[in-house]
Structure 1
């Protein structure tokens, strides 16, 4: 009987609170739909409109696919596990959720790494940017990002198996010694790299702004706005995910008592990042706003507007 209780999901108390359970379901379903719909708009926009067929936007497309899968896979799995009071067959489901979670989180930050490299080449080496960063190079970066993410997620998930199955409990975070290198490889090192690159971009952009000629001021302003927007995407990602990884690190060190419910809340904050990126694009990019309007109004189904000039 005691062993059976240990196999129950650690969030089993939610099952006893019917109102809370239904409220959680409504919130998660709403969040999942927002994530899927928002990122689907980005994906359709980049694929359909020829003007958006640029190396940078292909990286944005890869990031949007990652965010969409968070809403379509990770959130539903997490909700099922949270709502299950004592589901003995949830071991496989929990492992699948963990695998997708690590895969997509790692893919997000590696895609942001690629975007920062793209922006670095555009700002710091503008004359050679088109030769260095082309479609082939961009696709190669996307392939490497997803491949590394898949390998890391498989290794971390397999090594995360608990030695005693009887004491196994499904968590939204992994707290074993084997899992310690995971956050270092998937979050901290890429974050330091991205932050360093964007700091370099900021310094170079400021220096270029002082030397810019009036004849190309408008073009430079657009480029600067694109850099700021992508930096905001990075900032939003860090705001959403840093609390979780910091609390997880403190949890591992055992120097501070952090309730599991707090780490779970930080995890959900991280997942909510997937709904924010499309909002950033819609708010800062005029061409994305125009593309979204044409898609939502159904105009693209009335004819071939793929070559439309998005202002």
Structure 2
């Protein structure tokens, strides 16, 4: 996502030099360093999320409802790295949009959509963990593969309808003085949100889902602590009890890992969403360079997710090792047990 400061007193295209970009004040050396750094970030994003996608699809042990939600979210992060970051990189380094205003809208729509898809997935994963830990007897009958497919469809379709509808209708820019002239005259891809849609985006796209997820994970923590107290008061356990508790322990670990993923998302994206919320109330005075920096800070969330999985999940580290060493070409490896902890 991207916004920029605009002047409110222009009525023609003279200041834009016939749709030309302003001179880039960065030296070739600085631009080279920026290109190298950003390219490294989106290549890491693409490769890391491809490893998650391939691991979950390839190894049968990983075919679970939670992991399929993680798979869908990894696809989101992969697409952000593959289809969004390269164009945003050129815009950020060159201070110019070379790809036309129609593609600007398409690019921004996908950018906004993928961000919302991620947070929808995080909400869905939180609900999945809630049923697994707080209502384990109903989990298998509630979170079926059919239910996961329906949830995934909602996670993709609702953000897509919102993002493309708002951007292509230009409802997000309704009432912004000078926006139409800026679009016609400049080569800066100036997408902005007015007060109404900026508030809607912040509330529906970040604040409300964050509150829902926070409430769910607090409930999971309370239930987990209750289970620990019950266990501490019981001296003897049957094998069946021990097996059930081991399963609950794995669910708690998964919930803890995914809560870290949620926290990383909020830390990365909250500054950008908050700036979008404030900007129209500050008469669009927030510098475009600051918006750009906050936007890239949000993008880095897609880079961080595979690193989080690699740190917390032994199965991902082992699967990644198989991929790198080429052992996955052995068909019998599909059924191998990656780890005792899922």
C-alpha contact (below 8 Å) 1:99/1:154 kept by paired residues: yes
Say if 2:172 is the partner of 1:154.
no
The residue aligned with 1:193 is 212
Return the alpha-carbon distance in structure 1 between the equivalents of residues 284 and 180 of structure 2: 25
> Unaligned 5+ residue runs, structure 2?
1-12, 174-178
CA distance in 2, matches of 1:172, 1:307: 50
Q: What residue in structure 1 maps to residue 120 of structure 2?
A: 110
Q: 1:183 aligns with which of 202, 220, 235?
A: 202
| Structure 1 segments (4+ residues) deviating >6 Å | none
Q: Report if the CA contact (8 A) 1:173-1:264 is conserved.
A: no
| Native 8 Å contact 1:6 1:166 kept in 2 | no
**Deviation per residue, 1:55-99 (Å, 9 max, x gap):** 000000011000001100111111222344655753123212211
1:288 aligns with 2:316: yes
**How many Å apart are 1:218 and its aligned residue?**
3.4
Note closer, same or farther for the CA distance 1:244–1:291 as it changes in structure 2 (3 Å cut). Answer: same
Q: Cα deviations across residues 99-130 of structure 1 (Å, max 9, x unaligned)?
A: 11101000000010110110111111011100
Of the three residues 93, 99, 102, the one matched with 1:92 is 102
Q: Alpha-carbon deviations, 1:258-284, whole Å to 9, x = none?
A: 332222211100000001111111111
Once residues 104 and 331 of structure 2 are traced to their aligned partners in structure 1, the CA distance between those partners, rounded to angstroms, is: 45
- The TM-score, its normalising length taken from structure 1, stands at 0.91
Q: Does the 8 A contact of 1:51 with 1:307 survive in 2?
A: yes
Q: Match of 2:336, SS?
A: coil
> Partner residue of 1:232?
260
**Residue in structure 2 matched with residue 254 of structure 1 by the alignment:** 282
The residue that corresponds to 1:72 in the other structure is 82
* 1:163 and 2:180 correspond: yes
Q: Over the residues paired in the alignment, what is the CA RMSD in angstroms?
A: 2.3
Name which of structure 1's ranges 71-80 and 190-199 shifts more when overlaid on structure 2: 190-199
Conserved? CA contact 2:202–2:274, under 8 Å: no
Say which one has the larger Rg: 2
Structure 2 residue aligned with 1:52 = 62
2:16/2:185 contact within 8 Å kept = no
User: 2:45–2:303: 8 Å Cα contact kept in structure 1?
Assistant: yes
- Contact 1:66–1:104 (8 Å) recurs in 2: yes
- Shift in Å, 1:7: 3.8
CA shift in 2, pair 1:190/1:173, >3 Å? farther
Q: 2:230 aligns with which of 211, 216, 231?
A: 211
In the alignment, which residue of structure 2 is the partner of 1:23? 33
User: Which blocks of at least 5 consecutive residues in structure 1 are unaligned?
Assistant: none
Tell me, yes or no, if structure 1 residue 81 matches structure 2 residue 99: no
- The C-alpha deviation readout for 1:155-194, integer Å capped at 9, x for no partner, is 2212246433345563586243463222322222222222
Tell me how many residue pairs correspond in the alignment: 309
